[in-house]
Amino acid sequence: MKIGINASFARKPSTGIGQVTVNFLKKLAAQKTDDEYILYLEEDLPEDIKLPKNFQKRIFLPFWKRDDLVRKILWEKYLLPGKIEKDGCEIFLSLYQSPTVVPEDIEHMIVVHDIVPKLFPEYLNNYRKRKYWNLTEEAIRKADKILAVSSRTEKDLIQHLGIDPKKITVNHIDCDEIYKKAITPTVGSKVLKKYKLKPGYIYNGGGLEVRKNTLGVIQAYKYLLERNKNEHFLHEMPKLVISGRLLPKLKPLVDDIEAVIKDLDLSNHVEILDFVPQADLPALYKNAIMFVYPSYYEGFGLPVLEAMNVGTPVVTAKSSSLPEIGQDGVLYCEPKDHKDIAMVMKNVLINPELRASLSARGKERAQKFSWEKFITKIFNIIEEL
């Protein structure tokens, strides 16, 4: 069987979809199979992805070379289907939701991570974004099989796009293998030194989009700081460390946390790291006393799974997919109430037994996710097509 795969996001391994693409390809390449695979790419693969002889690569770009929505539409909607048909693919797998619609004689499986633009219209704040999302909705509806990365995304597809439930299979992804490796004291010390940190901070990362609710974390921290002055439940409040690319020009989609921290007079208590490369993230999670992620909405919630894998206690929101991913391995808060976030954080800060329990339960829960399971379910679906 000849199977085509949109592996475009392998060029962006620091993104969630990039992680899925890279790890999927590595595991798929290790499988022993007689099937032929054709990978469709905008750039060549990272050097650490080694392909066997039954894999081919097709690397191409449209005349518009700038990496933006215009190029995405040209590549995914107009160029890619023709390449797939010319190569004689029998099945095509899109590893993310995109505008690709394949000829009717080719079975199309599409992985849908979320439908954020449908749920949060502020993401569609210009014509190009609206055009891209409308084309993507059309492609999702026309796909033969949809792989939703969580039950929450499955429900959203049914409720908001009217997708037939029979077309959808929930297939949990996993996080990058880097979070499953032991972090040596040497590596941990090197990362802490790089960012001028001491162990035991409160950590928030995963992006500064408004829906990620970093603002709620900062407000909760300010509230705890003020409470501690009167109640003295801690000898010293740990610092709050926030990572994420600073893009204040993208307001109102992205929080201007620098301005918020200044307004709340927290400059001496909060460290802003800006973008952190993935190689440093495991140690950054590991040396935190807790990871706080009260996101309003997630299609899956990779940062929560990353933190659980390294054994960091997690506080996250009781909304969207997050309870499905964390189950009893994390603590939950009301994301719209910064005082509730603060009280859950306080419970973790003052209770070492709870931290130890969360660390153990989080690691145990994280073991339920694997790329092998993800790939096996895809193969099972292919056999049914």
Mean of pLDDT values over 104-116: 97
pLDDT at 215: 97
> With contact defined as beta carbons under 8 Å apart, do 153 and 115 qualify?
yes
Q: What is the mean pLDDT of residues 66-81?
A: 97
Q: What is the pLDDT of residue 68?
A: 94
Assigned CATH class of 177-366: alpha beta
Q: Is the pLDDT of residue 256 over 80?
A: yes
pLDDT of the residue at 225:
96
Q: For residue range 334-358, what is the model confidence (pLDDT) as tens digits?
A: 999 999 999 999 999 999 999 999 9
Long-range contacts (CB closer than 8 Å, 24 or more residues apart) made by 183-191: 183/282, 183/283, 183/286, 183/310, 187/283, 188/283, 188/286, 188/287, 190/283, 191/280, 191/283, 191/284, 191/287
Q: Return the domain boundaries, the chain.
A: 2-174+370-384, 177-366
Give pLDDT, residue 82: 97
The confidence score (pLDDT) of residue 266 equals 97
pLDDT at 161 over 90: yes
For residue 219, pLDDT over 90 is answered with yes
Residue 34 pLDDT greater than 90, yes or no = no
Q: Please indicate whether residue 264 or residue 31 has the higher confidence score (pLDDT).
A: 264
Quick one: pLDDT at residue 124?
A: 95
Task: Give the pLDDT mean for 214-229.
Answer: 96
Residues of the chain with pLDDT > 90, as a percent, come to 94
Tokens matching residue 326: 């964390």
What is the pLDDT, as a whole number, of residue 32? 84
Average pLDDT value for the chain:
96
pLDDT-based confidence at residue 150 (cuts at 50, 70, 90): very high
* Residue 300 Cα distances to 193, 256, 326, angstroms: 32, 25, 10
pLDDT band with cut points at 50, 70 and 90 for residue 38: very high
Record: fold of 2-174+370-384? Rossmann fold (3.40.50)
